[in-house]
Amino acid sequence: MGDQLNTDMNAFDSNGWAVLELPFVQNKISEAKELFNQQFLPKFTDDAQLNRELIKRFADHPFVASIFCSEEFVEAISKVAGISTAVKCGPLVSHYTSNNMTGNGYGLPYHQDYPSMGSSHRSVICWVNLADSGPEAHGVEVLSGRHKEGLLKGEQTGSAYVLDASVFEEAEATVPVISAGSVLLMSSFLPHRTYVNADFSGWKLSLSQRFDDLDDREWGVRGFKNAYRTAVDRDLYIGSI
């Protein structure tokens, strides 16, 4: 375990990402998948918007959310990322990728997550897929080591800080092989995009949670702020009663 931890720490430092195989997370994610299949999937219809809402509600299920707040989870990712006191940055978010109507073959282009956080420079993203992911399926594509370059040339859009083509045109990309329930830990500065395999008929349902380091003094100087706000749709109730 100690050797594995050192390997993960070194990989995270030099590549900006590491895959952590944590048995307790793998077991919990396997249970979460059962929950999805039994409670959420049967409610799917041919209404793609309704299905997307169900996928979001899955991330709100207390059992699913608790995995990412468990002591073991936070301790493991903190050690590898060198985080002293982890605090969540934003909610647990679900990402669905498929070539069917619900996913529509959509994936985010190359981007960096930090501009959608604006918080600690040591912040990380924990990404877990319910199914195996890699070049043969859908997944994530990363530019190893480029997190060391800080904020790269790009443009803030409504959905992400999208990188300029000059950043990745000549770059060597990696699609990590990640087994179901393993944790992809990424620096918030690591350039990445959704890997959509046009020939893959299955789907990918991943969950991600971001964390900051409360002991990052530089973040403290900036007031411990993050970019998240709680938005309430004040009109949603109209027509519901």
For the CB of residue 127, give the shortest distance to Fe ion in the complex, in Å. Answer: 8
For the CB of residue 188, give the shortest distance to Fe ion in the complex, in Å. Answer: 9
Q: Which of 35, 108 has the CB closer to Fe ion? A: 108
For the CB of residue 178, give the shortest distance to Fe ion in the complex, in Å. Answer: 15
Q: Which of 47, 184 has the CB closer to Fe ion? A: 184
Contact 131, 179 (CB under 8 A): no
Q: Which of 25, 163 has the CB closer to Fe ion? A: 163
For the CB of residue 113, give the shortest distance to Fe ion in the complex, in Å. Answer: 4
Contact 150, 189 (CB under 8 A): yes
141 sits near Fe ion (criterion: CB under 5 A)? no
113 sits near Fe ion (criterion: CB under 5 A)? yes
Strands (E), 98-226: 111-112, 124-129, 139-142, 154-156, 161-163, 183-187, 192-195, 204-213
Contact 154, 112 (CB under 8 A): yes
Query: Which part of the chain contacts Fe ion (CB under 5 A), choosing from 41-49, 60-68, 108-116, 166-174?
Result: 108-116
Which residue sits closest to Fe ion, CB atoms considered?
113
Strands (E), the chain: 17-20, 86-97, 111-112, 124-129, 139-142, 154-156, 161-163, 183-187, 192-195, 204-213
- Tell me which residues touch Fe ion (CB under 5 A): 113
